Amino acid sequence: MDIPSKYIATSVENKWYDYWMKNDYFHSTPDEREPYTIVIPPPNVTGVLHMGHMLNNTIQDVLIRRARLQGKNACWVPGTDHASIATEAKVVAKLKEQGIDKNDLTREEFLAHAWEWKHEYGGIILEQLKKLGCSCDWERTSFTMDPDMSESVIKVFVDLYNKGLIYRGYRMVNWDPEAKTTLSDEEVIHVEKQGNLYYLEYKVEGSDETLTIATTRPETIFGDTAICINPNDARFTHLKGKKAIVPLCNRVIPIIEDEYVDIEFGTGCLKVTPAHDENDKVLGDKHKLEVIDIFHEDASLNSFGLHYEGKDRFVARKEIVKELEEKGILIKTESHLNKVGTSERTKAIIEPRLSDQWFLKMEDLAKPAIDAVLGEDAEINLYPKKFENTYRHWMENIRDWNISRQLWWGQQIPAYFYGDGKEDFVVAENSSDALELAKEKTNNFQLTTNDLRQDSDALDTWFSSWLWPMSVFDGLRNPENEEIKYYYPTNDLVTGPDILFFWVARMIVAGYEFKDKKPFNNVYLTGLVRDKQRRKMSKSLGNSPNALKLIEEYGADGVRVGLLLSSAAGNDLMFDESLCQQGKGFANKIWNAFRLVNGWEIDESAKQTEVAEIAIDWYEAKFQTVLAEIDDHFSKYRLSDALMAIYKLVWDDFASWFLEMVKPEFGKPIDKKTYDAVIAAFENNLKLLHPFMPFLTEEIWQFISVRTPEEALIVAKWPEVTTSNAELIEDFSMIAEVVSGIRTIRKEKNISFKEGIELFVVNNDNATTELDAVIKKLTNTATINYVSEKVEGASFRVKSNEYFVPVSVDDIDVEAETEKLNAELKRAEGFLFGITKKLSNERFVNNAPEKVLELERKKEADTLAKIETIKNSLASLK
């Protein structure tokens, strides 16, 4: 076959992805094999591929491809999340461009536009994941608002309501005035902001007295319904039973007493605004105060704001401060740093707001999920373990979950009102069932579906995605179906720590509530992708590279390798584009190694050389050692370490040593036995590389031999760990140092490689002579002589052995040689100091395993011998 001189990723990637798709390698159906299942964290339907997705999905693909090679029935379920807030905002913006106001549409008309938007733009990200090489079972692609998924969500809501776990309550909630919906506590990010503390004077009714309050939000005075003092505060006993007058609106309000007020804090007088502060609401309920809501849903002031009606809260604040100042009501202003709640999604500043909302009681539901991760018999593992503390904090301080949103895009809450009262409703999966329930509840059998009005709110998006590992296998509507029984619990979940509570914890809660089983065995939490300056990647900073352009420039394999070389479990990834260049360079190295091997002529009758035999035995031993290492890294989710081990094996051991040892002399053929062994070793390397670099490896695999679809690399067999020859590896590592030493002398003394040299060895270390043939071939050494005395010439040491290459006396630079030896001596003495310190540490000696102590004592002996050798060499130069 004609093999291109360069590896061109762009010409290879589509070819093999289409081939994999055509042959259905990604598709899974239940069978007799062990299942290995991953469900994708469904990206927002509005999303496009960014660096976080690239990292997360590369890791998932590495895991799924390795499982496939291990003979497991690998199933990776893809899909997208309907993302209520983000999608509704996109649709509203698009309608606005067309001159359409959402408020002029019915719910059905708006949803028609939303679905149209979803069909046009939604799911772009899934197509982009294909470019990365993701081997998802695309036939299983799910969307959280697919009819079957929505049916599952509604079924769960009804079930939890009937269990008494879902209730409707009038509560102070987090209101996002931009998205015009409530948010759960977890969707609010508290950000430190520099603001002001304003000191205002309120008149006391029927007197010339005044009292002073301090507030960060002067616009909320329009909602004040009391002033509160501490009954034990001697400064204000004269105010007991009196009333105050609210500035600007001149409302007369009572002065109440409560020990809630901290005598030491602020002025000691607290303005109470029950509609706009959670603590004030508690006080208001206790003292039966009036509740005055001063805001519209977009946080502009309503009619209670008087002449500021219709103005945005922040615009109004500036103007109110100015008016208060002009009227002498504002006494002073101080700078004040405080934490402000902001919407995770829109970044708008949250308004506390009273409204009727739906809540899910979480305290009892959370208990099995706490035990599953943190209990004595924990059955879900978090990697890295450090996130267990975060999980514990969230779960042990859990609050009821506000699950209703004032949006249209999402599953509509299945509550049906039959009257005007707050309790005049029933909960059912559909309007027919609701009608029957309403008739029973009211005893009015004349009711029709026209008399029912469904709650207009939608459910929180997380209320659908918390069911994801079950709903993608239809495990809620059909709990005994073959797929849920085969694929659930899933194996690994790969996601970011930022949604450990939002999504991961809630899926665990749902798993135990609805299946009485964990949803997955392991959770691998990736770090966040940051730039070289440790900044989070964002559009506003302009530091987030275009993911598809990276793939175009470096190839999907190059980008995958670049991402994983810089990633560590749970630690943030400092992304540097040069790592993708390194990944591309690695792909080229492998390609060139293949071209080298493929270019060799084979002689069927030639005998295998001694060096080739040694090389094959050594590489097999080395491969087995590294394979065991790689499997261990995978078991601990150290994928970067696994990749680095493969990288070194292929770049250093295979390309730099093994191929150099076996390659035939220039212009001569290679024997078939050695060639076959080289190809077998290459194929094993490709199997290890395939999960990380699927395109390049499949391309080379298919070039090596004509393969049937059943013989494709994607479904080949992962190598099995067997015993390895540790002694040979140890001996070879010494030989490698000898080869490096000789090469250094050739370079320093300008001795051409074509010129054969003699090597003299003072074998103090009793090193094996069985590998001398390797030294000879790799360094063009004509003879190796073992002697008891030093020989004139350039020298180097390996352990306590001394190696001499005779060169003309004039060629030896005594000063340079002395400097080199002194530097070596300093290094060796420093190394010895560290070992001696360790071995003189009683605690270390008493606790370390015998094997470790043995190794340390051997290092000490070797280093002492090396120091003596260096000192002797220095003496001989004087």
Average pLDDT, the chain: 92
pLDDT at 541: 74
Lowest pLDDT segment from 19-33, 410-424, 788-802, 811-825: 811-825
At 217 the three-state DSSP class reads: coil
Better pLDDT: 540 or 528? 528
Q: 228: part of which helix (H) or strand (E)?
A: strand 226-229
In tens, the pLDDT along 637-656 reads 999 999 999 999 999 999 99
Distance between CA 613 and CA 773 in Å, rounded? 11
* Predicted confidence (pLDDT) per residue in 220-232, tens digit: 999 999 999 999 9
Predicted local distance difference test score (pLDDT) of residue 430: 96
Q: How confident is the model at residue 809 (pLDDT cuts 50, 70, 90)?
A: low
**pLDDT value, residue 671:** 96
**What pLDDT was estimated at residue 567?**
56
Least confident segment among 513-522, 573-582, 686-695: 573-582
Q: What is the per-residue pLDDT for 2?
A: 77
Closest CA to 541 of 184, 35, 871, 50: 50
pLDDT for the residue numbered 104: 92
pLDDT at 818: 85
Under the phi-then-psi rule, with left for phi > 0, alpha for psi from -120 to 50, and beta for the rest, what region is 570? left
| DSSP string of 286-319, one letter each residue | HHT------B-TTSBB-GGGGGGTTSBHHHHHHH
pLDDT for residue 109 is more than 70: yes
pLDDT bin (cut points 50, 70, 90) of residue 768 is confident
pLDDT higher than threshold 70 for residue 452: yes
Query: Which H/E stretch holds residue 530?
Result: strand 529-530
Pairing status of strand 781-787 against strand 757-762: parallel
Mean of pLDDT values over 423-445: 95
CA distances from 266 to 112, 270, 337 (A): 53, 9, 14
Tell me what pLDDT residue 574 has: 81
Tokens of 547: 């993911």
Check if the beta carbon of residue 404 is closer than 8 Å to that of residue 357.
yes
Q: Is 74 left (phi over 0), alpha (psi -120 to 50) or beta?
A: beta
> Using N-to-C axis directions, what is the helix angle for 506-514 and 363-374, rounded to 10°?
100
In 3D space, the residue among 351, 174, 190 whose CA is nearest the CA of residue 273 turns out to be 351
ω into 719 cis (within 30 of 0): no
**Whole-angstrom Cα distance, residue 163 to residue 280?**
33
- To 5 degrees, how large is the angle CA 381–CA 384–CA 389? 80
Position 810 confidence tier, pLDDT thresholds 50, 70, 90: low
- Number of CB atoms found within 10 A of residue 445's CB: 9
Question: Following DSSP, what letter does each residue of 335-372 receive, concatenated?
Answer: EEEEEEEEETTT-PBPEEEEEEEEEE--HHHHHHHHHH
Q: If phi over 0 gives left and psi between -120 and 50 gives alpha, with beta otherwise, what is residue 766?
A: left
> What is the tens place of the pLDDT at every residue in 376-416?
999 999 999 999 999 999 999 999 999 999 899 999 999 99
- Residue whose tokens read 């993302």: 83
- Own/partner contacts of 748-752, CB < 8 Å, gap of 24 or more, are 748/794, 749/794, 749/805, 749/807, 749/811, 751/805, 751/807
- Which comes out higher in pLDDT, residue 251 or 49? 251
Q: Give the pLDDT mean for 652-672.
A: 94
User: How does DSSP assign 103-125, residue by residue?
Assistant: GGS-HHHHHHHHHHHHHHHTTHH
CA distances from 172 to 54, 156, 175, 697, 844 (A): 39, 25, 9, 58, 59
Mean pLDDT calculated for residue range 547-562: 94
What tens digit of pLDDT does each residue of 565-600 get? 875 545 788 888 889 999 999 999 999 999 999 999
pLDDT tens for 457-511 read: 999 999 999 999 999 999 999 999 999 999 999 999 999 888 999 999 999 999 9
Q: What percent of the chain clears pLDDT 90, i.e. is strictly above it?
A: 73
Cα(555)–Cα(34) distance, integer angstroms: 33
| pLDDT at residue 539, as a whole number | 63
Q: What is the mean pLDDT of residues 100-122?
A: 92
pLDDT for 179-221, tens place per residue?
888 888 878 888 888 999 999 999 999 998 999 999 999 999 9
pLDDT attached to residue 824: 87
Q: What is the DSSP letter of 81?
A: B
Mean pLDDT over 597-607 rounds to 94
* Whether the Cβ atoms of residue 274 and residue 289 lie closer than 8 Å to each other: yes
How confident is the model over 145-181, as pLDDT tens digits? 999 999 999 999 999 999 999 999 888 889 999 988 8
